[in-house]
Every structure is written in C-alpha cells, then in structure tokens.
Structure 1
Amino acid sequence: MAFSGDPSNAVQDEQGRRDDEDGVSDQSEPNTSPWSSFINTRLGSNTPRSRQSSPGHSPRIGPSRFSSSDRFSDSQYETSFSGLGSLWGRKQHLKAKQRANRKFGKKRLKGLVAVIVLLSLFLLFNWIMLSRLQDHGVDSRAKSAGNSTSSSASVSISIRKEWRKFNKGRKPQKGNYGRMLAMAAHALAEGQNKAEPKDLWQEPFVPASSWKPCADQHSWEPNEGKNGYVLVTANGGMNQQRVAVCNAVVVAHLLNSTLVVPKFLYSSVWRDVSQFSDIYQEDYFINYLTPDIRIVKELPVELRSLDLKAIGSLVTDEDIPKEAKPSFYLKYILPILLKNGVVHFLGFGNRLAFDPIPFHLQRLRCRCNFYALQFVPKIQETGALLLQRLRQNESYPGLLDHYLVGSYAKAITKENQSRRKKASRYLALHLRFEIDMVAHSLCEFGGGDEERRELQAYREIHFPALTLLLKTTKLPSPQALRLEGLCPLTPEEAVLMLAALGFNRKTSIFVAGSQIYGGRSRLIALTSLYPKLVTKENLLTSTELEPFMNFSSQLAALDFIGCTAADAFAITDSGSQLSSLVSGYRIYYGGGKMPTIRPNKRRLASIFTKNHTIEWRVFEQRIRKAVRQTKHVQTRPKARSVYRYPRCKECMCRTD
C-alpha cells in the first residue's frame, strides 16, 4: 500500500492498526517531546494510535499529510480583513502577516534544530551502544559494583585482546560466540566465591553404588584352541585397538581357536609404530586370560610362510558386516579356519555385535577390558606422576589409581604422606576436536572457504571413501548436521557448557588431547575463562615426555589415565572411543562416586542457535536441564556397548 506525505505516518497507521486489532487503548496524557516522537517514528514504538495521531503534539520531519506546509495561509488573512477595504488596513494586514511569518519561521527553525540535535544524539548513543555490544557482549548486569565488576572486566578484556590478535585480518567467525563468552566471563567473575551446584561433582550415589564389578568371576571351561590360530591386526588409535583386542578374544573363544597376541596396523593418520607390548603388559594379558582361551605370542613356524591372502585366510572389514552376530563367524569363518588352520582379521573394527550374544562371551569382553589390559610400567609410572601433579599434594590415591597405574599408586601415597594440605580435585575434559574428527564430521566451524578447502584436502588423503560419497551422494548440509547433534562441540561451545553448569574460575581442568584443530587460538576461550587449565604437556617435563614422543597411542594412554582418575569427566562427543572407554571404566570401578558429564548434542545445538539473543540466566537453566538428564543411572540399553555401559548382568552385579 502506498502512503502520501510523511513516511512516519505510515508507521503510525500500521502501529495503530495492530493496536486496534489487539484491543489496546491508552487514555493517559500524550507525550509531546520531540525525542518520543522520533522514537515512535523511527522504531515503531508500542504507543497506541490514540496517542500518536493527536494533532499538533509532536513536531515532524518534512511535510505531513495531516498538516499543511504553512499554518497561516493567504486566504485565511484575506477572509479576516476583507471588510476593512482601506489601504491602511491592507498595510497593517501585510505587516501583521510578515510578523507572524517571521515568528513562525523562528519557531520552525528552533524546532528543526532541536530535532536535528536530538537525532544526532540518538545516532551517537546508538553507535556507542552497538560498539559496546560488539566488543563486550555484556548486558546491563555487567554494571554491578565491587570486585566482581573489575574481575569480570579484566577477564572480558583478556578475551577480547586474544580474540583480536587471532582474528586480525580475518572475517568474523560465527563459531566464536563472542557475546555469550563475554557473558560467561562476567558470570564466572561475579560468582567465583559462590558455592558450586551440589550435584556438579556427584553421581546419583544410591542407585549408582548398587552396581558392583563382578566380571572377574567365571564358571566356564577354557577352550583348547584346537581349531587353528586367529591373527588380528587392529586399526585406528589406541582406544579403537583396545576394543578390537577384546572382540578378538571373544571370537577366538567362540571358534575354539588359539589367539596370537594382536598386532596394530600402522595408520597414516596416527603415524604410530607402537605394538601391543609397547602399550600393554603382554605376559599379564596372556596369563590372566588363560582360564578362558589359549594365547600365544607367535604363529607356529610352519604357518608363518603361508600366503594367507592366496589361500583365502585373509579377512578384511569389507568381508565382515559391521557388528556381525556370532552365527556369522560360525557359518563363514570357522570353515576357513578348519581348512587352512589360520585366519587373519585385518582391521577388525566394530565387527562383533553386542546383542544377541551368549552370556559367557559378553562377560569375557568385560574381563578383557577391565582386567586383562594393564599398561606397561613406563606408562604406569609416568601416569602416576601425572596424577600426582594434577591433584596438587593430595595425600591419598584416587579410587581408580590401583587399576590404572598398579603398584605406582603406592609410591604416590608414600611421597605425599608428609603433606597434609587439602585434597585438590580436578575436572577432565576430552575435546574431540582433532582434524580427523573435524574433517570426518562434514560440519563447518566458522573458518569459511579456507577451512572448507583445508578439510576437503584432508578428506581426499585420509578418507577417500568419504570423498567419493560426497561426489556421488547428496548428503545433509552442515547446518542440518549441527541441528541433529552430529557435529563435535567446538572448544568455545565446551567452555560455555562448563560455565553454565557452574564450574567456577578456580576449577582445575585437565584437557586430554592437545592437538586441537586450529591450534592454540581455538583454546583462547578455555584458557581465558579457566586459567587453571593444563595438559600433559604442561605438567610433564620434556625429559619425562621424551620416551613417548612420536608414539600417539602411548600418549593417548596417558590421557586415558588422566581422564579416568578425574573427580569429574566431561565429554564433548559421545562417539569418541576414548570418551566411551573412560566413562565405562569410571562406572565399573567408580562405586557411584565418579560422575561423567555427557551432553545431548542435539539439545545443545538447539540452545546454541539462539546465542545472539538468549540471556545468560536462561542459557544456564537450559544447559543444566539438558545435561542433568544424561546423568541418570541406567542399565545397558539393548545392542549398546558394554565398554561404555557396563551396568548389565554380564559385567556387573546388583546388590539391592
């Protein structure tokens, strides 16, 4: 619809129409100031039409269709003086008209000047407020007095300085959450002396403590291993390899075969030549599982020279369905084993189902994972040193130390007996934000075209099958993946989650995995809001780390120890094998005292999409609700991993 005259009247008409429809009325005294008129005109205020359309109350910019351009017209004066008919009268009339015009002109000029001044003040004020919002991102609550204000300001300033340094010459990144990080900084500074939520460092103790470890018990006869030999070369990193080893133990028992100590496949991603004996105690592994299966270190001499591929004994992941049932191995693998005397599984990632599976085979999985796999002494010793420094003078070992570092847990106790300082607890955070995870997720993280090119180049080298799929199949967009909770949390999202849950600035945080995609700059938010953040590289000297350098699996073992023994453990991606194994280990041995923070990423994605408008108090409430629901104690869901959910009759026993 077209409007004549002043465009402001179009706004007023439309506002009045909406007010009429809503039944709004206002009988109060009209506001006649030029400032309120400008606000009403420019911003479409909620002032009802009965107030806005009152004639003569507010000066306007330019002509209006509700008022003439000249308040005293010639025709008005001619009508008033038509009866006089004298020259003197006409002269007096002209003089009066000139005086009136001059007087009105001055008033009109003053009104225009006033409007211009107010307009300028409004624009200046608006510009200042926008600048403060962009730089600080802090709402009006940041003006509170006292030490919390200065502390908050210093935190916000440090974040902004780091951000400007990082973003120099770059386009603004959506993933940085500048506004919300500033609000989080203010909330942390304001609440640094407040008590943390009671359930922050706790599991629901009563239902959690009713489950006790019992996978060390078994009542079956050991197999004789007479059907041949099973070789396994596991792929992936340390945690994927651990799962493959446990599954291989079960398959060897199922096929009544002898297991050769598993080997690990060299990966172009991990670039680690470590083998089983470099990470786990080989003899302990063999001896502990002797009541279950027969294990040897090498193939017999007569079988070593066989071309396993030529005779059909080489079985890859492409030959085995994902999570294949035991019946598959009995039907297709056992005949090969009986014919050739040996089968070699190459890869063997996630190639054994969790359900349906016989009770004793499921329990054997748990026995292998929670008992048979003990780290070698050099990893245990360095892991014990890591825990000692993480706890800062704690005079007793944690609940899980004995299972993780063996006899070295006693050394910690002895060294700290003379120290009586208060125990220091810490939070472990696994940031699964390495480049392989980021590239494989097909998500975007605010880096624009440069990021897309870099991740695509990485996929072409390390994930050729995924690259082919991208070219031949229409996949969901990065935005759709994020809304479905299929993207790993960024470091910025992780720190916002921790701050919203109530962890204060004094919290000691151990971050597992320091090869974050984007490098140090992606950790700015974490290090600025939580200055007591450390990694194994911070806590251990270069001399202490030197034996593990260039061995990613052995470094991962140190992260495993640091995360598993933590007072609380937070994960950012539930699909991560380390997070899965660590959380399961903490359930199995934790006695209901080792909480794991496992966010629902779909719900978090819904909350984070409102980061430009949501207030911090509402954000806290929604995050706490989303995370609290994942802390419920539950038995293992059907077909889910016993490594992650060991609360099932095959692994743990109920005491209530």
Structure 2
Amino acid sequence: MQQPQPKMKKKVVTNRSRLTIGILLAFFILTNFWMLSRIQDSPPPPPSSSSLKLRFLKSNSSTLSLPSQDQLRKIAKGKKPHKTAYARLLYKAAHALAENQYKSTEPKDLWLEPYHAVASLWQPCADQRVWKPSEGNNGYILVTANGGINQQRVAVCNIVAVARLLNATLVIPTFMFSSVWRDTSQFADIYQEDFFIDYLKPDIRIVKELPKELQSLDLEAIGSVVTDVDIAKETRPSFYLKHILPLLMKNRVVHFVGFGNRLASDPIPYHLQRLRCRCNFHALQFTPKIQATAALLIQRMRQNATHSGILDENLVGPFAKSKGKIKKDFRYLALHLRFEIDMVAHSLCDFGGGEEEKKELQAYREIHFPGLVELNNSTKVPQPERLKAEGLCPLMPEETVLMLAGLGFKRETRMYLAGAHIYGGKSRLDALTTLFPNMVTKEDLLSPSEIEPFLNFSSQLAALDLITCTASDVFAMTDSGSQLSSLVSGYRVYYGGGKMPTIRPNKRRLADIFMKNDTIEWKVFETRIRKAVRQNKRVFSRPVGRSVYRYPRCSECMCNTQEAIRPPPR
C-alpha cells in the first residue's frame, strides 16, 4: 500500500508542471499575438491612462499589464496612417522579442563599451590652465545667440574663446527669441550665471552688463553690430584679429547678433581650443531648478535606485545620490529620435505618407526653407531612393525600433525618449511603443505640478532631455549630426571614463540592410546590424576640423594617460 504513493505524487507534480507550462505558453502566445496585431494595424489614439505604461512615479513599481480582449479587438480594426516597407521585418522583430522575453542573456557588450580598455586611457584635463587671466581691456563684447539650447551652448563657448583672443571683456550672453522655439529664456534661466563668471575668471573677464557710459551708444549707427551675414561659418581666428579687433578698439563695443557656428574647429591656438572645452564641460552648469527636476527624471528611470550613475554628479550637482554601482535591473537606455518636421522636410526624403505627406512637407518648406525650394526647382535633386541609399534620410521610428531589436535589447528594457513633436504624432511611434512598451518621456515621468514650470520654455525642457540622455547607461541617436546628440555623446566621452556606450548608426550601412528586408532572415539581420553599429564604436582621436564638443578626445581637451607626459605647447 505504501509503494504506489510516490507514483501518485510524481503524477501530481507532472500535472502541475504541465499546467504551469501551459499557462506560460498561453501568455507567450497572447503577448506575441498582441504585438503582431499592433504592428500590422495601427491603433486609435491611446486612452489617457494606458495599461501599457510602467508606473515610475512610485518607488520600485514595475508592473506591466497586457491589454484586455476589448482593446485587442479595437487594435485589429485600426487603420495604417503610414505605409511602411518594413512590415515583414517588424513582424519578425516582434517574434524575436517575444521569444527572448524570458531569456536572461543579452549580447555581451550591449550595455558596455566594447573598447573600454582603450577608451579609459583618455581622461578629462580641460580644467588645467597655464596662462594668466585676460584683463579684457580692449573693449566689450555683446553676443545674442540664436537657435535652440544646443546651438546657443556652442555659441557661448565660441564667444568665450573669441573674447580671450581679442583681450575683450564679455558681457553675459543673451539669447535670441525664435519663432520656431518660442522661448524667452535667457542665460540665467538655464545656467548658473555667477558660477560661469567665477569659473572663467582665470581666463577672461565677464560682466553682467555694459558700463553705463556705453549703454546709450547706438551700436548699429556706429557700425558695431556684426551679424552672421558678416562672418562666414567656421571662420578662422585671423579674421577676428584682422576685422573685429580694429572695430572693437575704435568703438569700445562690438555686438554679435545671431552668433552661432562662427569659429573654426581648426586651425586654432592650442589653449583657445582648451578654453572652449573648459567652457562646455566645466563652466556651464545648469540652474538648481533644472538640476533638481532632471535628477527626478534620472531617479525614476532607475526605479529610485539608491545610488547614482557615473555622470550624475557632473550633471545634477548636489541633487545626485551617493556614488555606487547601479544594479543591472535599474539600467535604462535613452533615445534621441530626430524626426521632427523640420528635419523631415529638409531631407527631401519619402517617409511612406503618400501624396498627403508630400503636400504637407512642401508647404512647410515654402515657409521655413524657401532657399531649399528654389534649389529643388532649379536643380535636379536625387530621388528619395537615392538619398536613402546614401544615408541622407533621417531614420524613421520603424527603422529605429528594428535597429534596437536587432542589437538585442529586450522587450522590457526601460527606454527614455527625448525630444518632442515627432512628425506624424503618436501613431508614428506605434512600432516603438509596441515592441518596447517601457518607453517613456519626461511628460510621462513628471507630475503636472513638476513639469508645469517648464512648459512654456522649450530650451529648459530640452535641458531636461539633455541631462537625462547624458546620464543614461546607453545612449542611442538616430542622427549623428544632431546638435543635442553631439553634445550628449561628447559629454559621455569626456566624463564617462570609457564606460558610457553610445549607439551611432551609420545610416548608409543601415539603408543597405533595410533595403534587403524582403529576403533577409532575422538572424542575418541581427548579425549585420550588430556589426554595423559596433564598427561605429571604435575609439579614435578627434579628426581635424571636427567639433571638440562632439569629439573631445584630443590633447586640448583630454589627456591620454598612455602617452608620455609632456608639457602643452605655449
């Protein structure tokens, strides 16, 4: 009577195991079906309280719920707002993500810098000075920088170098109001003004306003207003010495209006180059208001982890938590999707929207890019297919999600999406948010009262994105020429110690892979994507003529500890 008991127990255990496997299999099938249906048919606008969103505002909460049967039926009835050539690949990506959902393994170097040993040899040293302070007694420089926060930041660092070159006193920069950005923020609204003045005191003299005896001057009447029309892009220092210095000495004041990328990357004296790095990486600290809110974003992306990341202290100062290693489960990827209407319209590419898209983008060009319209009418511009093949088109959200899935990021990866006003609206992001439902924006992470002080200030909102992207464990860009992406990647190189990987897609290589999507198998697609991205992660010194803000690995900004220590040139 005692012998059959073990067999009965074994049978019960077997039945329970089968039941468990059956439940997991049903969950897997439901998940897979949901993702595939979302890709094939776009859903209507999501409700205000989406069941797909991770609730980051509560400590250590990470619940992810699937949609109800009613929601699935609604999804199946949706209409496609964009015709995409990548339906087959997206279908395969959904399968791969569903299959890998319960696997713990990811590609070995997905969250690591593959060339860490070489990258870590470069250490920050732009804070080192070997010269005496400039007295600034040749006159005063006013500057009104144009563009958004990224262009303004570059302009500030460039004008600091020009002030030193001309032995001039710099008046705190002002920012031009743009009809595009529509932001009234000034320097002190974004950066710590007193810190900026004090930190650069050993380099140049900075004041908050002109002396009273000069404030009444009509600068335009005396010829002291210099615009971008008067200065070519990437102008050499010799131009300023030859043309601007005499004007400064004569009138005591020069006002640069619309000053942007008007100082060459090369050739430029060694210590002026170092001063530009010092300004960008050390002197420009965001205001406590921005730092505090950015710290909230970082903490919520990390599920309120008890320790800060590598760059937090440099980015958010006193609002960073104590130093320590972030747990694997608290990591996040930041993505800057450069797919706003200005980028889309300027590219002259096709994004699957048909005649309606063509008319909309043409109307935008006629208002904002009349020169491009004239050029397009008078010159035979390459067809969109050729532009795509040459890597001249912005990555579409559909292509971006394929790149991330091909690299091996798991479906539950926490992702922070930077930017705003994606062309095509939320429906254009459907593939991204379906395959990676844990993707959020600052608007998702902050309460209405927390984000309200920033709502009418696009530059301050951009600062929040810049900080949160820079602090991320992995940063992915879709356009390597973007100013925000350039500043973020450069900052990660400068302070990251070779441990802050950045994904820079080679759009030409990716286009070649995407254009074979009708025949390529997913495993082959993964291999080619990973190879193409890894090739862009190689460590190299700043190429001649390239921006030090994006490529700080040069002797003016960073020191290579492997090289013999030698004094900098004088």
TM-score range, shorter chain: 0.7 to 0.9
Alpha carbons 2:299, 2:305 under 8 Å: kept: yes
Alpha carbons 2:119, 2:497 under 8 Å: kept: yes
Worse-superposed segment, 564-573 or 617-626: 617-626
- Paired position in structure 2 for 1:530: 436
Please show how residues 183-582 of structure 1 align to structure 2 within 5 Å: 183-194=92-103, 195-203=105-113, 204-410=115-321, 413=322, 423-582=329-488
Distance 2:217 2:389 in 1: 52
Distance 2:200 2:223 in 1: 29
3-state SS in 2 of match to 1:444: coil
Alpha carbons 1:432, 1:576 under 8 Å: kept: yes
3-state SS in 2 of match to 1:604: helix
Unaligned runs of 5+ in 2: 1-24, 45-73, 563-570
Structure 1 position 654, deviation (Å): 1.1
Alpha carbons 2:101, 2:411 under 8 Å: kept: yes
Distance 1:481 1:328 in 2: 36
Q: Does 1:650 align with 2:556?
A: yes
Q: Deviations over 1:95-137 (max 9, x none)?
A: xxxxxxxxxxxxxxxxxxxxxxxxxxxxxxxxxxxxxxxxxxx
Q: Does 1:641 align with 2:551?
A: no
Q: Does 1:617 align with 2:523?
A: yes
Report the CA distance shift for 1:219/1:180 in structure 2 as closer, same or farther (over 3 A): same
Structure 1 position 188, deviation (Å): 0.6
Structure 1 position 473, deviation (Å): 3.2
Alpha carbons 2:134, 2:164 under 8 Å: kept: yes
Q: Please report the TM-score for the alignment, with normalisation by the length of structure 2.
A: 0.85
Letter in 1 for 2:37: I
| Higher relative contact order (CA closer than 8 Å, sequence separation 6+) | 2
Alpha carbons 1:266, 1:272 under 8 Å: kept: yes
Q: Deviations over 1:383-407 (max 9, x none)?
A: 1111110100311011111111110
Alpha carbons 1:393, 1:423 under 8 Å: kept: no
Q: Does 1:151 align with 2:31?
A: yes
Q: Please report the TM-score for the alignment, with normalisation by the length of structure 1.
A: 0.74
Worse-superposed segment, 471-480 or 353-362: 471-480
Q: Deviations over 1:623-642 (max 9, x none)?
A: 11110000111111111111
Percent identity for Structure 1 against Structure 2: 70
Report the CA distance shift for 1:350/1:422 in structure 2 as closer, same or farther (over 3 A): closer
Alpha carbons 2:42, 2:80 under 8 Å: kept: no
Distance 1:322 1:552 in 2: 26
Q: Deviations over 1:275-325 (max 9, x none)?
A: 111100111101100000011111222222222222221111121111011
- Paired position in structure 2 for 1:182: 91
**Which of 27, 37, 42 is the matching residue for 1:162?**
42
Distance 1:166 1:317 in 2: 51
Worse-superposed segment, 440-449 or 642-651: 440-449
- Paired position in structure 1 for 2:55: none
Structure 1 position 212, deviation (Å): 0.7
Q: Does 1:593 align with 2:502?
A: no
Distance 1:161 1:481 in 2: 28
3-state SS in 2 of match to 1:569: strand
Report the CA distance shift for 1:612/1:166 in structure 2 as closer, same or farther (over 3 A): farther
Structure 1 position 168, deviation (Å): 8.2
- Paired position in structure 2 for 1:26: none
Distance 1:271 1:265 in 2: 10
Report the CA distance shift for 1:305/1:478 in structure 2 as closer, same or farther (over 3 A): farther
Distance 1:421 1:647 in 2: 29
Distance 1:166 1:577 in 2: 37
Alpha carbons 2:41, 2:79 under 8 Å: kept: no
Q: Deviations over 1:16-72 (max 9, x none)?
A: xxxxxxxxxxxxxxxxxxxxxxxxxxxxxxxxxxxxxxxxxxxxxxxxxxxxxxxxx
Report the CA distance shift for 1:254/1:541 in structure 2 as closer, same or farther (over 3 A): same
**Which of 509, 519, 524 is the matching residue for 1:603?**
509
How many residues of Structure 1 are paired with residues of Structure 2 in the alignment? 507
Unaligned runs of 5+ in 1: 1-144
Report the CA distance shift for 1:227/1:175 in structure 2 as closer, same or farther (over 3 A): farther
Distance 1:460 1:519 in 2: 22
Letter in 1 for 2:468: G
**CA radius of gyration, larger in:** 1
Structure 1 position 589, deviation (Å): 0.5
Q: What is the alpha-carbon root mean square deviation over aligned residues?
A: 2.1
Structure 1 position 448, deviation (Å): 1.5
Distance 2:370 2:207 in 1: 36
Structure 1 position 350, deviation (Å): 1.2
Alpha carbons 2:41, 2:80 under 8 Å: kept: no
Distance 1:333 1:289 in 2: 22
Report the CA distance shift for 1:161/1:468 in structure 2 as closer, same or farther (over 3 A): closer
Structure 1 position 550, deviation (Å): 1.4
Letter in 2 for 1:639: G
Letter in 2 for 1:199: D
Alpha carbons 2:43, 2:79 under 8 Å: kept: no
Report the CA distance shift for 1:172/1:552 in structure 2 as closer, same or farther (over 3 A): closer
Structure 1 position 173, deviation (Å): 4.1
Alpha carbons 2:35, 2:434 under 8 Å: kept: yes
Alpha carbons 1:393, 1:421 under 8 Å: kept: no
